[in-house]
Structure 1
Amino acid sequence: MKIALIGYGKMGKTIHELAEQHGDGVVFIIDRNSSDQLNHMNRENVDVAIEFTNPESAFENLKYCVVNQIPVISGTTGWLHRYDELVRICHKNDGTFMYASNFSIGVNIFFEVNKFLAEKMSGYQEYRVSMEEIHHTEKLDAPSGTAITLAEGIVEKNSRFESVKEIDIHSKRIGKTPGTHTIEYHSPIDSIEIKHTAHSRRGFAKGAYEAAVWIKNKKGVFSIQDMLFGDQ
């Protein structure tokens, strides 16, 4: 498999290691110093692109891929106000695209647990819900994309909430923390807490690599839930 890495930070480098371990070739490495290389990518020399950059450049990177029919997955957060626009461009150009706020398999199972709990707690007004997310100090966006996805899951399943803005999210940036997300339902009587703690970036990178393998011969817009759970 011929892989293009768009963005070569810590995630890109970890994905690079995984790809080589599986015998795949990384044919393009594009970062801020080699952004002009993006225009040399095409369907003949790239099987799939993996995009982890920043909110300012993500949309144009992804647009280039879908217009040129290069299957692309992205874990960049902070650009989702243009997500629907990218979906339209992808369909218009018969492209292939997957976005996930978090590619960790464990986190995506945690998303489902969060929805289950939110639905069960819907009728209990006495419980106040809050969320804490902790990441490394280099993470630019707050709250994290994972925290926003968790909040969206609560709003979807708990009839007490109409907007993500109603969910109390506390963001912390501490040291080299890969990512910790905690959701608590608290009442004067007791509390219920669910928590996911990442021990390294390797889980995120492994999920992203597996998504790239899964999507490379498909057409359309997908989520990681499509890959993990078969939900269309």
Structure 2
Amino acid sequence: MNIALFGYGKMGKMIEQIAQERGHTIVAKIDVGTANVDYGAMDVAIDFSTPDAAFENITNCFKNGVPVICGTTGWLSQYEEAMELCKEDKGAFIYASNFSLGVNIFFELNAHLAKMMSQLEQYKVSMEEIHHTQKLDAPSGTAITLAEGIIGNSSYRDWKLDTAGDKTIPITSIREGMVPGTHSICYESDVDSIEIKHTAHNRQGFALGAVIAAEWIQGKTGVFTMKDVLNLS
């Protein structure tokens, strides 16, 4: 499979290594200032670029018949528009706030727990996410996905950074050291606490999941998620 990398930072380099180990070829490394892009050489594009570049990268691929795997966060105000353009161009697209296989199982566990806890109003939920100091967005895209999983399965209506409310999930974002990513969700009452937590030990899980998604999307048309890739739907 011929893979183009949009964004060649730490994640791009790790995806390159894992893709090559799995027998794939990196045919392009497109970063800020890249002038000429040969879409005809690509079987799939993997985008870990920047919030400002992601939408244009994605839609240019759709126009040129290239499936897209996108892990860039911070651009989701344009996600609905991207989905519509994907359908118009008969493209193929997977966006995930986190491609780690373990995290996507954690998403399902989170939603199931939220559904179980929804009838127990004595428990109040809170979230914490910890990442390295170079991470640009807060809260993380993974934390937002987790919050949406709770909102979709409970009476909570929204989330806010460091702000609790009757129907608001408070999210604490911590930036320290070189932490790849830790996410915890706590339900607390006067008598006890229930906590679930996912800790990434390195970035390899994110990169591997993106490559697996790229392998899975070959020959498909439509907008998908990691639930489809992992058959969790």
Give the superposition deviation at 1:54: 1.1
Percent identity between the two aligned chains = 56
Determine if the alignment matches structure 1 residue 203 to structure 2 residue 205.
yes
What is the match of residue 26 of structure 1? 26
Give the superposition deviation at 1:230: 5.2
Provide the rounded CA distance (Å) in 2 between the counterparts of 1:208 and 1:19.
9
* CA displacement, residues 53-87 of structure 1 (integer Å, 9 cap, x when unaligned): 11111101101011111001000011111101011
Tell me which amino acid in the other structure corresponds to 2:187: Y
Provide the rounded CA distance (Å) in 2 between the counterparts of 1:224 and 1:41.
27
Provide the rounded CA distance (Å) in 2 between the counterparts of 1:69 and 1:33.
23
Q: Is there any run of 5+ residues in structure 2 with no aligned partner, and where?
A: 161-167
Give the superposition deviation at 1:21: 1.0
Q: Which runs of 4+ in 1 moved over 6 A?
A: none
- In the alignment of these two chains, the number of paired residues is 226
Q: 1:114 aligns with which of 110, 115, 124?
A: 110
Instruction: Using the TM superposition, name which of 101-110 and 162-171 deviates more.
Output: 162-171
Tell me which amino acid in the other structure corresponds to 2:132: H
What is the match of residue 60 of structure 1? 56
Equivalent residues in 2 for 1:55-134 (5 A)?
A: 55-134=51-130
Tell me which amino acid in the other structure corresponds to 2:156: F
Residue 193 of structure 1 aligns to a residue whose secondary structure is strand
In the superposition, the TM-score normalised over structure 1's length comes to: 0.95
Determine if the alignment matches structure 1 residue 9 to structure 2 residue 37.
no
Q: 1:161 aligns with which of 145, 151, 156?
A: 156
Determine if the alignment matches structure 1 residue 181 to structure 2 residue 183.
yes
Provide the rounded CA distance (Å) in 2 between the counterparts of 1:164 and 1:112.
19
Tell me which amino acid in the other structure corresponds to 2:196: I
Residue 41 of structure 2 aligns to a residue whose secondary structure is coil
Give the superposition deviation at 1:114: 0.4
Instruction: Using the TM superposition, name which of 92-101 and 163-172 deviates more.
Output: 163-172
RMSD: 1.0
In the superposition, the TM-score normalised over structure 2's length comes to: 0.95
Residue 116 of structure 1 aligns to a residue whose secondary structure is helix
Provide the rounded CA distance (Å) in 2 between the counterparts of 1:67 and 1:141.
29
